[in-house]
Amino acid sequence: MTSNTHSHTLSGDLGVTSIVMMVIATAAPLTVMAANTPLMIGLGNGAAAPFDALAAMLIMFLFSVGFVAISRHIGNAGAFYACIQKGLGRVVGLGAASLAMVSYSLFLLAIGTYVGYAVSGLLGSLFGVAPPWWLATLGAVACIGVLGYRRIEMSSKVLGIALVLEIGVVLLLDLLILVDKGVDSMPVESFQASHILSGSPGLGLLFAIYSFIGFESTVIYREEARNPERTIPIATYTAVFTVGIFYVLSMWCTVAGIGVDQVVAFANAHPGDMYLLLSERHLGKAFSDVIQVLLITSLFACMLSLHNIVVRYQYILGKYAILPGRCAHIHARHGSPYVASLLQSGFAVAGILVLALAGLDPVTQIYTWGATAGTLGYMVILVLASLAILAYFKRSGHDRRLWQTRIAPLGGLIGVVSCLVIAIVNLPTLIGGDEDSIAPVMGMLVVLAFAVGSISALMLRGRSPERYMALQELA
């Protein structure tokens, strides 16, 4: 294969639809319904889960208003950390960059592990032979490595097919519940204060925020987008509202299908298969098996989208010589950051093998710890990005629209800070309660990841001032 080792510009022709599909694929709608919704109901505020999804959508919308406004002043694939650097400076910006790479890599490792576990279980139930989870995970990593190596449109097509199937099956179940219960009998209790304030509303909102992870990928694909000044804002708002409305409707139908009075007990009794049992009730056992297959494709699509995000972080850091310059090499034919993709695939393989040799449980340990630590880092980045948006527009005066540069970003900041506080306070609960010693390790990992980037920036400032000053181009 030939490559152009001199090109430092990604190429692609992504439109609004392709970008939105990759963002929604990262959110993994079917996975949210099967995995997050039982937690929102059982650990959160029960029948008010649809309200939590609505509130999370509004927080993400408020954040997106400022994020879209500042993205017009960002000319590369830097996304969150380019935004943070523009508003809070190079040192904080590089700290956010390293934190973003670690957080998304943890997500990728956690979800990849769960894919291997799910594939192993499905093959065992269908054929009586269950391969080790790590072998199935390595197979998924290999497939994603091939797609990440090739042109970005190839990934968008694969994600599009998987996404249409998983959304279709959820909407079909929603429709059957609506027909069975009747639109007039949908539970208004889901939006009443008595239910919203019951249980742990903070945890319900926190799990809802988790469900939006990855929406920054609209800006990450800026260099590969068609007419980015128009495409990126439309794709961002479309993704936030499409995902949000989908969650509100589907969670509302889930509550209706199980019943307001029974839903909490049912979610606590069946945290892993609540949605499968609900689908079996309305669609039959055979269709429930289909949903299990689509759950695996949903997780795979999420892995692929996360891989593309991490690779583009590595690409932009290689472009400005923070990482080895080869990370910025672009394939001559595919226009992809192929070296960064190969590097990420190599890290994933090494991590999987180390975790497998350590004998850790793929779900209760690797998945739970990885996803929780990644989410903690992600929420720190959201807070920093919100502060950066407010600081940039106050300092620069480039945009004096009050809603876009002051009111909406401040509302988003209040929302994400509240969710971060809830996450920190409830960290032992989020990782299972019996693993309290892991909670401080997760906090230290987030701090260390941020510190590595920040210290690298300080060292670069002393060792190579011209390269340090050139970092401003990242923003």
Domain assignment of residue 3, yes or no: no
The angle, 0 to 180 degrees and rounded to 10, between the axes of the packed helices 49-71 and 408-425 is: 130
pLDDT tens figures, 140-196: 999 888 887 676 555 566 667 777 888 899 999 999 999 999 888 899 999 999 999
Instruction: Report DSSP state, residue 431.
Output: T
Q: What is the pTM of this model?
A: 0.84
303 or 451: which leads in pLDDT:
451
- Is pLDDT above 90 for 136? yes
Pair of tokens at residue 263 = 């839903």
Of 350 and 290, the structure prediction assigns the larger pLDDT to: 350
Higher pLDDT pick, 155 / 131: 131
Higher pLDDT, 241 or 370: 241
pLDDT tens across 260-318, in order? Answer: 999 999 999 988 789 989 998 998 887 877 888 888 888 888 888 788 888 878 887 78
Instruction: Between 401 and 222, name the one with better pLDDT.
Output: 401
Q: Is a pLDDT exceeding 50 seen at residue 364?
A: yes
Q: Is residue 119 part of a domain?
A: yes
128-142, 177-191, 234-248, 435-449: least confidently modelled range: 435-449
The number of residues in the chain equals 475
Within 320-367, where are the H helices? 338-358
Confidence class for position 450, pLDDT limits 50, 70, 90? very high
Structural domain count, the chain:
1
Q: How many CB atoms lie within 10 A of CB 333?
A: 12
Residues linked to residue 14 through DSSP beta bridges, in sequence order:
225
Give SS3 for 225: strand
Count of Cβ atoms closer than 10 Å to residue 200 Cβ: 17
Is 455 inside any structural domain?
Answer: yes
Apex 339 CA angle, 226 and 231, nearest 5: 15
**Between these two residues, 81 and 9, which has the higher pLDDT value?**
81
In angstroms, the CA 254 to CA 59 distance is 23
Higher pLDDT, 311 or 3: 311
Q: What is the pLDDT of residues 102-125, one digit of tens each?
A: 998 998 898 899 889 889 888 887
Whether the per-residue pLDDT at 61 is higher than 80: the answer is yes
pLDDT of residue 187: 95
CA distance linking residue 138 with residue 343, whole number of Å: 15
Which tens digit of pLDDT belongs to each residue from 381-391?
Answer: 999 999 999 99
C-alpha 14/C-alpha 361 separation (Å) is: 39
Note whether residue 8 is domain-resident: no
Please answer whether residues 75 and 437 qualify as being in contact, where contact means their C-beta atoms are separated by less than 8 angstroms. no
Domain of 83: which CATH number?
Answer: 1.20.1740.10
- Average pLDDT of the chain, as a whole number: 84
Residue 233: per-residue pLDDT: 85
5 pLDDT more than 60 = no
Coil, strand or helix at 182:
coil
Res. 6 pLDDT band, cuts 50 70 90: very low
Residue that wins the pLDDT comparison between 50 and 23: 50
> Is 55 among the domain residues?
yes
| Helix or strand run (H / E) with residue 70 | helix 49-71
Q: Is the pLDDT of residue 475 over 60?
A: no
Higher pLDDT, 150 or 360: 360
Mean pLDDT, residues 38-58 taken together: 94
pLDDT of residue 2: 40
In sequence order, what are the residues at sequence separation of 6 or more whose Cβ sits closer than 8 angstroms to the Cβ of residue 201? 44, 45, 48, 52
Q: Record the tokens describing residue 57, joined without a space.
A: 């959508």
Look at residue 357 in the predicted model and tell me its pLDDT.
94
Q: Rounded to an integer, what distance in angstroms lies between the CA atom of residue 5 and that of residue 119?
A: 38
pLDDT digits (tens, 9 = 90+) for 203-213: 888 889 888 88
Check residue 262 and give its pLDDT.
95
pLDDT at 432 over 90: no
Residue 159: per-residue pLDDT: 65
pLDDT at 75: 62
Q: Span 34-51, mean pLDDT?
A: 92
Q: What would the mean pLDDT of 219-240 be, rounded to a whole number?
A: 79
Residue 190: the pLDDT is 96
CB 240 within 8 A of CB 57: yes
Domain hosting 345: range is 16-474
* Predicted confidence band of residue 27 (pLDDT cuts 50, 70, 90): confident
Q: Read off the pLDDT band of 415 (50, 70, 90).
A: very high
What gap in Å lies between CA 275 and CA 31, rounded to an integer?
A: 10
Percent of the chain beyond pLDDT 90? 34
- Is position 316 within any domain? yes
The answer to the question of residue 147 being in a domain is yes
Kindly indicate the confidence band of residue 3, based on its pLDDT and cuts at 50, 70 and 90. very low
Residue 4 lies in a domain: no
Alpha carbon distance 338, 331 (integer Å): 6
